[in-house]
Chain A
Amino acid sequence: MNILKGKNVNLAIMLFVVTLFEVTCLFTLFQKAEEQYKMNIIITMGIYILVQYAYFFGAKIILKRKGFEVELIAFLLTAIGLSVTLSVYPNLAVKQLIAVLIGICGFIFVGWLLRDIDRIMFLRVPIAICAVGLLAFTLVFAKLTNGAKNWIYIGGLSIQPSELVKVAFIIVGAATLERLQSNRSLTKFIVFALGCVGCLFLMYDFGTALIFFFTFIVISFMRSGDVRTIALVCTGAFMGGLLVLIFKPYVANRFAAYGHVWENFDTSGFQQTRTMIYSAAGGLFGVGLGNGKLRGVYAATEDLVFGVICEEFGMIMAGAILLSYVALLVYSIRHSKYARSSFYAIVACAASALMLFQASLNVFGVNDILPLTGVTLPFISRGGSSIMCCWMLMGLIKSVDRSTYKFGGVRQ
């Protein structure tokens, strides 16, 4: 039974085009790579393409699912991100690939987890405790890196727990709506959100704190529709922020360059100015993968990755990437009315809004429209925790679609 009006994209054709894109990237990277990294690049891209086919085979043939637009976008964006990483840091290819594979497993796991709403209701308290516990642990044991205490090092691996907590934050926030629109009290959620945002603030991870706060507003509004409470919370948060700036003025120094990057061309505005210059140099179709100059700037594949995309792939593709984040939010909103439960509607809208907000912070940050907060561009930026989080967020977005799950033994 097809519940959608109209036809979905043809999976075979789209998958072929995605593969063609990946193979073209692989070819370009192979040409430019140093001899010692050539095999690394082939193995990484090859495994990624195989996993992509395995996923679609399982979902289409075995599970008989319909509608793969969300996954196709995710796979394409990941391929773009992976290509940039392979181009700049071919030595980190395997590490990034492992993170992508874990992320895809996370996507499948979240899909399974959300299938049964009773299971979520049962797990929401343990998830909330784990989320706050993980942030508290990071706050205590993490070392200050790049001005923020948000990295934990285990062996040779570095993990950013706040990325993983994003998924938990959305699930817990939506799951506190326990009795079908009857429990409008936001108290429990406010306490939980305060715990998370407070920890992030103390970790000086202001970008992520802002993302959490924005997600909190989205969830609160969708849950209660109570504008007055939300206005009160926003005012409280604004006042809190002002107090922090008054009593801890060094926090404001982090954003001193904001609005003055051209005055600090070679100092605090170095990253932003170079990003803007090289982005413009890319033109509409870019200078080609591996030919950019922004790659030499610190954090090119993380915070400044949007600039790298603009420079090497061109403005058109950069615009298309941003459009896909917008489309995910539109998709979530359009499906939310027909979701199996308000829980799925809230979860999907919050996840897609978070992704769009994060992308906006990144893009506007590097272009000096907003302060540079150091958040990643979903799916594109290099970073294991970030890519895992993005794939899991995709799992949350996908849950809003009624055709994702069998209902009463029937896939709709």
Chain B
Amino acid sequence: MAEIEYIMRYVLCILAIAVIFNCVWSLIRLKPDKKVYALLVDMANEKQYPINCYETSVGRSRHCDVVFTNSTVSRSHAVVALRKDGFYVFDTESKTGVYVNDEKIEKKKKLQDGDIIAFGTAFMKFYMGSEADRDIKHEKNEKELCPRLVNIMDDTEFDLDGDFITIGREAGSNIEISARYVSRRQAEIFKEKNRWYIEDFGSVVKTTVNGEKIYSPTELRDGDVIKIGDFAFLYEE
């Protein structure tokens, strides 16, 4: 019995230390990931301030998260805070006030992506998400902005993201139509001065826009229907 008791002393000590050291090491080692929730971009010099805290203080004091040397900015000017329903900017009793899109705020205002915030005479642009997210979003927006042709038969979409696209039976055409009555080079859709035009290459079966045969470059408008024989495409901007 005495031997068991003797061993128990060591067992207890080892077990307790195993738990405490593991937990303590984990508590000391682990730290929250610096996820970037939003960005503040100084409009004067394009300097970026990532917002990776739930509350980010802006001011002239060196204790602030975003520090300005501008004399129109108060020591503790404002706080950009993440709340349940999004980001807010709080005016923390600054002398020169906080403006969002040229509108002076009272206490707080919810922020939207792309808002311009003025802290005194320091102008910042607010972006939701990290820089990478912003680039992706920007790309996505560009893509969403580019017009497209939609095949009415099967809803296939063709983005008009270059300067021109070709339509024809010829292999290598951007929109290849394998019907005998379609010319090898049937038509071309091209961009000029940010407007899209369609030109028929003198094919046997004429290309039509909204039922009218085209003989010269014709400007396309949202909702136009381009028809080549039995094939019909909707132009969407």
A pairs with B: yes
Interface positions, chain B 1-49, Cβ under 8 Å from A, are 1, 5-6, 8-13, 15-24, 26-35
Contacts A14-B22, A25-B12, A330-B27; A335 near B84 (Cβ below 8 A) = no
B85 at the interface (CB under 8 A from A): yes
* Cα–Cα distance between A72 and B20 once the two chains are bound (Å): 8
* Cα–Cα distance between A286 and B5 once the two chains are bound (Å): 12
B232 at the interface (CB under 8 A from A): no
- Chain A min CB distance to B169 (Å): 51
Contacting pair B31 A334 (CB below 8 A): yes
A27 at the interface (CB under 8 A from B): yes
- B interface residues, tally (CB under 8 Å): 45
* Cα–Cα distance between A285 and B7 once the two chains are bound (Å): 10
A180 at the interface (CB under 8 A from B): yes
- Taking CB atoms, residues of chain A closer than 8 Å to B140 are none
- Taking CB atoms, residues of chain A closer than 8 Å to B10 are 285
Smallest CB gap from A401: residue in B: B32
Contacts A72-B23, A317-B16, A340-B54; A6 near B30 (Cβ below 8 A) = yes
- A interface residues, tally (CB under 8 Å): 58
Q: Which of A18, A291, A313, A328 sits near B13, CB closer than 8 Å? A: A313
Q: Which of B23, B27, B28 sits near A14, CB closer than 8 Å? A: B23
* Cα–Cα distance between A331 and B15 once the two chains are bound (Å): 22
Smallest CB gap from B11: residue in A: A24
A20 at the interface (CB under 8 A from B): yes
Contacting pair A330 B28 (CB below 8 A): yes
Contacting pair A80 B16 (CB below 8 A): yes
Contacts A9-B26, A320-B17; A181 near B12 (Cβ below 8 A) = no
Contacts A181-B57, A314-B9; A3 near B16 (Cβ below 8 A) = no
* Cα–Cα distance between A182 and B33 once the two chains are bound (Å): 27
B contact residues vs A (CB 8 Å cutoff): 1, 5-6, 8-13, 15-24, 26-35, 52-55, 57, 63, 76, 79, 81, 84-85, 90-93, 107
User: Can you list 16 contacts pairing A with B, beta carbon distance less than 8 Å?
Assistant: A4-B30, A17-B18, A24-B12, A24-B15, A28-B8, A67-B30, A179-B107, A180-B79, A180-B90, A286-B13, A288-B6, A289-B12, A324-B24, A335-B31, A337-B32, A340-B54
Further 5 A-B residue pairs, CB within 8 A, beyond A70-B23, A341-B55: A4-B30, A285-B10, A314-B13, A320-B21, A338-B34
A contact residues vs B (CB 8 Å cutoff): 2-6, 8-9, 14, 17-18, 20-21, 24-25, 27-28, 31, 67, 69-70, 72-73, 76, 80, 179-182, 225, 285-289, 291, 313-314, 316-317, 320-321, 323-324, 327-328, 330-331, 334-335, 337-342, 402, 407-408
